[in-house]
Copies of this chain bind each other. A is one copy, B any other.
Amino acid sequence: MQLNPEILNKLTSIVGESYIFTDIETRNHYGHDETEDYVFPPNVVLKPANTKEISEILKIANEYKIPTTPIGARTGLSGGALSIYQGIGLSMERLNKIIEIDEQNLQVTVEPAVITQVLREAVAEKGLFYPVDPSSQGSCWIGGNVAENSGGARAVKYGVTKDYVINMEVVLPNGEIIWTGANTLKNSTGYNLTQLMVGSEGTLGVITKIVLKLLPQNTHNVLMLVPFFKASQACEAVSAIFRAGIIPSALEFMERDAIDWTLKYNDNINITVNDNVQAHLLIEVDGNYPEILFSEAEKIMSVVEQFEIDEVLFADTEDQKNALWKMRRSVAEAVKSNSIYKEEDTVVPRYVLPELLNGIKKIGNKYGFKSVCYGHAGDGNLHVNIIKGEMNDENWEKEVPKGIREIFELTVALKGTLSGEHGIGFVQKNFMDIAFSKVHLELMERIKYVFDPNNILNPGKIFPDEV
Question: Is A403 an interface residue when CB atoms closer than 8 A count as contact?
Answer: no
Contact across chains for B104 and A189 when beta carbons are under 8 A apart: no
Whether A259 sits at the interface, judged by CB under 8 Å, is: no
Does the CB pair B184–A106 fall under 8 Å? no
Q: Is the CB of A181 within 8 A of B245?
A: no
Query: Is A190 an interface residue, CB under 8 A from the partner?
Result: yes
The binding surface of chain A is classed by DSSP as loop
A40 sits at the interface (CB 8 A):
no
Inside 8 A of A418's CB, which chain B residues have their CB?
189
Q: Which of A107, A195, A216 has the most CB of B within 10 A?
A: A195
A364 to chain B: closest CB distance in Å? 22
**Which positions 429-456 of chain A face chain B at CB distance < 8 Å?**
432, 435-437, 439-441, 443-444, 446-448, 450-451
Bound form: Cα–Cα A32–B42 in Å: 58
Q: Is the CB of B102 within 8 A of A440?
A: no
Nearest chain B residue, comparing its CB with the CB of A350 = B105
Is the CB of A176 closer than 8 A to any CB of chain B?
yes
- Residue numbers of A with Cβ under 8 A of B are 102-107, 127, 148-151, 155-156, 159-160, 162-163, 172, 176, 178, 181-193, 195-196, 198-200, 204, 215-217, 239, 242-243, 245-247, 288-289, 292, 345, 347-351, 376, 379-381, 412, 415-424, 432, 435-437, 439-441, 443-444, 446-448, 450-451, 462
B188 pairs with A444, CB closer than 8 A: no
Residue numbers in B under 8 Å from A103 (CB-CB): 243
A130 CB to nearest B CB, Å = 15
Specify which chain B residues have a CB less than 8 angstroms from the CB of A204 in the assembled complex: 191
Among B155, B349, B450, the residue within 8 A (CB) of A443 is B450
Choose among B288, B350, B447 the residue that contacts A191 (Cβ–Cβ < 8 A): B447
When the two chains form their complex, are residues B188 and A239 in contact, meaning their CB atoms are under 8 A apart? no
Alpha-carbon separation in the docked complex, A349 to B239 (Å): 37
Query: Which of B215, B349, B447 touches A107 (beta carbons < 8 Å)?
Result: B349
CB distance from A162 to the nearest CB of B (A): 7
A-B CB proximity, top 8 nearest: A195-B195, A182-B417, A104-B351, A186-B420, A183-B415, A105-B349, A216-B245, A446-B450
Q: Which residues of B lie under 8 Å from residue A448 when comparing CB positions?
A: 191
B181 near A417 (CB under 8 angstroms)?
Answer: yes
